[in-house]
Amino acid sequence: MIIATKAAVATSAEVPLTVEYLVIAGGGGGGGKGNADYYAGAGGGAGGYRSSVTGENSGGGASAETALNLTLSTNYTVTVGAGGAGGVGLATGTNGNNSTFSSITSTGGGGGTYEGGTAGSGGSGGGAPLSSTHGLGTANQGYDGGDNTGSLGGAGGGGAGAVGGANTSPGSVGAAGGAGVDSAITGSTVCRAGGGGGGSYNNTGGTATCGGGAGANTSGVTGSAGSPNTGGGGGGGGAGGSFGLPSNGGAGGSGVVILKFPDAYTITIGGGLTGSTAGPSGGYYVTTITAGTGNVSWT
């Protein structure tokens, strides 16, 4: 005689509440250019990138961190950092804002700067035009911004995956933003936290990938903003053309917090947060939080 049996379903008593995370801060704004300046603004640095996803990397070349073992019916704080504002005229872009999940904090990206200025340091550092100082990245989160030692174009902002592009010889093209880092935490591979491209002198603005904004091509043109929820840096303002026109840097992209946890549990996203949960798939739910500050908890 054959007896049919019901397939075993894992319960919360059998599965620990281990949460993998991807926490990305807001990107820094790009640097601007003043009325009478030849040199284009530099790109903003990407927001800090911290990941505990198995087989993936954190920013700055670091390996994945350790996932968090959490407690049921306990509030854990989440903050999604906004991107920094671009520099208006002859000004350094504003640093991005930090993102947090429980004990994990990713640092906002550094703002790109202008000729003679100092770029912001942060998760990844902002880039620098000629006679300026690039920003520094944060260990295990991102890379430094690029330098400019002889070009009218701006350097690129640092990315989570690479140093910002540098301009080291005479020319006018903007340098590329630093590369970001791939993650498949949501089930699809997405690259995030790229640095912003440097502005150019009446030429081609610096390119950017992984959510970073491209640099502007000439005076009076604002650098492109970083993409929302990627932590990408903003592009630098352009120079040349109508010489007397100021140019603004692009804003940095906002950050994001993504959480992956066993489907034996249910997450509650508290007030003040904007987010959604996908799944279950493969034994897990994935919650993506795109804005705000508040608490999450599990039952």
pLDDT per residue as tens digits for the range 223-244: 999 999 999 999 999 999 876 7
pLDDT surpasses 60 at 3: no
pLDDT tier for residue 14 given thresholds of 50, 70 and 90: low
Category of 89 on φ-ψ map: left (φ > 0), alpha (ψ -120 to 50) or beta:
left
pLDDT surpasses 70 at 211: yes
Percent of the chain with pLDDT over 70: 95
149 or 224: which leads in pLDDT: 224
Q: Which residues pair with 192 in a beta bridge?
A: 181
How much is the pLDDT for 197? 98
pTM equals: 0.94
Rounded to 5°, the CA angle 75-258-95 comes to 95
Strands 18-24 and 49-51: antiparallel
pLDDT 10s digits, 17-45: 999 999 999 999 999 998 877 899 999 99
How much is the pLDDT for 5? 25
